[in-house]
């Protein structure tokens, strides 16, 4: 039994030693593998891969946010169209025919916005027809008819604005019925005729010397009229501020203070009433400029001018849509 026990102990020691040797080999192999991973080149590759994965993750998040904003803008547009449709069904929009003055019941701002939307939709159809006629080299008679239709359609928006101003002149002057980019260039509820003429001259070449002189004179007269209207608006604002500043602090119980306060506010209201006149004069200037431009240019030049004006404002509206839908981090 002693011999057996001694043999067993020897066998156990040998097995244990072999296991330890194998364990050391595994550790040595593992350490060697770890050392190979610690090479500078491998570390740079791992960092670059991690950075690429993070950049890709952020790009996916930005793309997802951009898509969500586009979807949100589309839903808002759909909601606005539905509201306009309900407004039409409720009869609070301006009738497309007949006397517009008596149709401005209810919410004047909403009514004008709905009617302006209709006007813009019809205007786009006429411009598409005009563009097709120009591209197909239509005859002068056909082209003149389309140009006259577009010009007459501009008269409609000036008439609509005049009617809407009687209900809410501040809405028209503020330009809230236009896109944000268009409002950047707003002047007394619309565009500056002189600036528009400057844009057209470079787009309508070649022009004769007589045409250039006529457009230059029209641009100068428009500029002078705009300056006069701007000075009138500044004087009105100054006068209105002085009237409000000199009024009594508040209508107290004293009958004298109440009468003074009401008198001052009535005077301020009277001055505000002249805003409608400034808007009407500005629109008359715009209307006359378009008519004079039509007389100076040939039929085909007038067609190109109308297309240029449309494309300019169309790009402003597109710029507003892109700005509102831009991704925000």
DSSP for 87-142, please give it: HHHTT-SPPSSS-SGGG--S-HHHHHHHHHHHHHHHHHHHHHHHHHHHHTT--HHH
Helix/strand/coil percentages in the chain, nearest 5: 85, 0, 15
57, HSE (Cβ side, Cα atoms, 13 Å)? 6
pLDDT band at 260 (very low <50, low <70, confident <90, very high): confident
In angstroms, the CA 55 to CA 89 distance is 51
pLDDT given for residue 325 in this prediction? 87
Does this model's pTM top 0.75?
Answer: no
The Cα 110–Cα 184 span in angstroms is 22
Q: How confident is the model at residue 100 (pLDDT cuts 50, 70, 90)?
A: very low
Specify the pLDDT at position 329: 67
Banded model confidence at residue 97, pLDDT cuts 50, 70, 90: very low
Per-residue pLDDT at 327 exceeds 50:
yes
| pLDDT, average across residues 317-329 | 86
Instruction: Evaluate if residue 46 carries a pLDDT over 60.
Output: yes
**Which residue did the predictor score with more confidence, 106 or 283?**
283
In the chain, beta strands by DSSP E: none
pLDDT exceeds 80 at position 277: yes
Question: Is pLDDT larger for residue 277 or for residue 33?
Answer: 277
Locate the domains of the chain by residue range.
110-245+261-325
Q: Above 80 in pLDDT, residue 85?
A: no
Q: What is the pLDDT, as a whole number, of residue 25?
A: 53
Res. 15 pLDDT band, cuts 50 70 90: low
Q: pLDDT digits over 300-315, tens only?
A: 999 999 999 999 999 9
Q: Residue 45 and residue 288: Cα distance in Å, rounded?
A: 70
Q: Which two tokens stand for residue 278?
A: 């400034």
Query: Chain-wide mean pLDDT for the chain?
Result: 80
Closest listed residue to residue 228, CA positions, set 189, 188, 198, 181: 188
Give the pLDDT confidence score for residue 256 in this predicted structure.
58
Average pLDDT score over residue span 39-56: 81
Give mean pLDDT, residues 106-126: 89
Tell me what the mean pLDDT of segment 6-14 comes to. 46
Please write the tens of the pLDDT for every residue from 24-39: 554 445 454 444 445 5
> What percentage of the chain exceeds 90 in pLDDT?
49
> Has residue 144 got a pLDDT over 80?
yes
Cα(81)–Cα(104) distance, integer angstroms: 20
pLDDT at residue 5 in the model: 44
Is 251:261 a contact under the CB 8 Å cutoff?
Answer: yes
């Amino acid at each position: 039994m002693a011999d057996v026990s001694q043999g067993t102990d020897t066998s156990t020691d040998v097995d244990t030693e072999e296991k330890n040797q194998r364990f050391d080999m595994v550790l040595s192999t593992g350490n060697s593998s770890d050392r190979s991973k610690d090479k500078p080149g491998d570390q740079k590759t791992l960092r670059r891969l991690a950075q690429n994965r993070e950049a890709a993750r952020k790009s996916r998040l930005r793309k997802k946010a951009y898509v969500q904003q586009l979807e949100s803008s589309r839903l808002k547009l759909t909601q606005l169209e539905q509201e306009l449709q309900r407004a039409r069904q409720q009869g609070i929009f301006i009738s497309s025919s007949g006397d517009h003055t008596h149709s401005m019941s209810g919410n004047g701002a909403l009514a004008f916005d709905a009617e302006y939307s209709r006007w813009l939709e019809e205007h786009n159809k006429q411009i598409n027809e005009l563009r097709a006629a120009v591209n197909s080299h239509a005859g002068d008679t056909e082209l003149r008819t389309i140009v006259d239709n577009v010009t007459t359609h501009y008269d409609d928006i000036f008439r609509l604005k005049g009617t809407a101003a009687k209900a809410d002149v501040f809405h028209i002057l503020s330009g809230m019925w236009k896109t944000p980019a268009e409002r950047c260039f707003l002047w007394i509820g619309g565009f500056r005729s002189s600036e528009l003429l400057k844009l057209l001259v470079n787009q309508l070449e070649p022009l004769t010397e007589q045409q250039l002189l006529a457009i230059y004179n029209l641009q100068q007269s428009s500029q002078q009229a705009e300056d006069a209207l701007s000075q009138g608006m500044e004087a009105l604002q100054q006068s209105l501020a002085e009237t409000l500043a000199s009024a009594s602090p508040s209508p107290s119980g004293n009958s004298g203070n109440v009468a003074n306060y009401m008198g001052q506010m009535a005077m301020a209201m009277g001055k505000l009433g002249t805003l409608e006149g400034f808007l009407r004069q500005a629109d008359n200037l715009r209307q006359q400029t378009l008519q004079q431009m039509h007389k100076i240019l040939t039929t085909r030049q007038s067609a190109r001018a109308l297309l240029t004006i449309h494309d300019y404002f169309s790009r402003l509206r597109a710029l507003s849509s892109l700005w509102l839908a831009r991704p925000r981090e």
